[in-house]
Structure 1
Amino acid sequence: MNFNKLVTTSVFGLIASAGAAMASDCGSISIAEMNWASAELMASVDAFILEEGYDCDVELVPGATQTTFTSMSEKGRPDIAPELWVNGLKVVLAAAKEEGRVHTALAGPITGLGEGWWVPKHFIEEHPELNTVEKIIEHPELFPYVEDETKGAFMGCPSGWSCQLSNDNMFRAFDMEAKGWVNVNPGSAAGLDGSIAKAVERDENWFGYYWSPTAIIGKYELFPVPFEAEWAGIDNWEGCIGLAPDDCADPQKTSWIPSEVETVVTNDFKEKGGEALDYLSTRIWPGEVMNAMLVYMNENQATGEDAAFEFLEAHSDIWMPWVSADVAEKIKSAL
Structure 2
Amino acid sequence: MKKLILLFSAAILVVLSACGDSGADGEIETIVLADAGWDSIRVHNSIAQKIIEEGYGYDTEVTSGSTAATIQGVRDGDINVYTEVWTDNIKEVYEEAIEAGDFEKVSVNFDDNKQGLYVPTYVIEGDEERGIEPMAPDLRTVEDLKKYPEVFEDPEDPGRGRIINAPSGWAVAEAINAKFETYGLDETMNNFMPGSDAAAVADLVDAYKAGEAWVGYYWSPTAVTAQYDLTLLEEPEYDEETWNETKATEFPPNDVVVAVHKDFPDQAPDVYEFLGNYETSSDLTEQALSYMDENDASPEEAAEWWMNEHEDIWTSWVPEDIAESIKESLN
Query: When the two structures are superposed, what TM-score results if normalisation uses the length of structure 1?
Result: 0.71
What are the residue-to-residue correspondences of 1:56-205 with 2, within 5 Å?
56-64=57-65, 65-74=67-76, 76-87=77-88, 89-107=90-108, 109-123=109-123, 132-134=140-142, 136-137=144-145, 140=148, 143-145=151-153, 147=155, 152-159=161-168, 161-178=170-187, 181-185=188-192, 187-189=194-196, 190-205=198-213
Structure 1 CA distance for aligned equivalents of residues 165 and 46 of structure 2: 33
Q: 1:212 aligns with which of 215, 220, 227?
A: 220
Q: 2:326 aligns with which of 325, 328, 331?
A: 331
Q: Is the 8 A contact 2:152 2:215 kept in 1?
A: no
Query: When the two structures are superposed, what TM-score results if normalisation uses the length of structure 2?
Result: 0.72
Structure 2 CA distance for aligned equivalents of residues 265 and 160 of structure 1: 26
Task: Please say which of residues 314-323 and 167-176 is displaced more in the overlay.
Answer: 314-323
Deviations 1:69-115 (A, max 9, x none): 323323x33221111234465444434433433210013x1343353
Question: Shift of residue 150 of structure 1?
Answer: 6.5
User: RMSD value over aligned CA atoms?
Assistant: 3.5
Question: Shift of residue 132 of structure 1?
Answer: 4.7
Instruction: Give the total of aligned pairs.
Output: 293
Structure with higher Rg: it is 1
Structure 2 CA distance for aligned equivalents of residues 135 and 185 of structure 1: 17
Structure 2 CA distance for aligned equivalents of residues 47 and 165 of structure 1: 35
Structure 2 CA distance for aligned equivalents of residues 223 and 289 of structure 1: 20
SS in 1 for 2:211: coil
Which residue identity is paired with 2:244? Answer: N
Aligned residue in 1 for 2:29: 28
Go from structure 1 to structure 2 and tell me whether the alpha carbon gap of 1:160 and 1:67 turns closer, same or farther (over 3 Å shift).
closer
In structure 1, stretches of 5+ residues that fail to align are 2-25, 238-250
Q: Is the 8 A contact 1:29 1:59 kept in 2?
A: yes
Go from structure 1 to structure 2 and tell me whether the alpha carbon gap of 1:252 and 1:299 turns closer, same or farther (over 3 Å shift).
closer
Question: Shift of residue 175 of structure 1?
Answer: 1.5
Structure 2 CA distance for aligned equivalents of residues 31 and 92 of structure 1: 21
Structure 2 CA distance for aligned equivalents of residues 299 and 97 of structure 1: 38
Q: Is the 8 A contact 1:31 1:47 kept in 2?
A: no
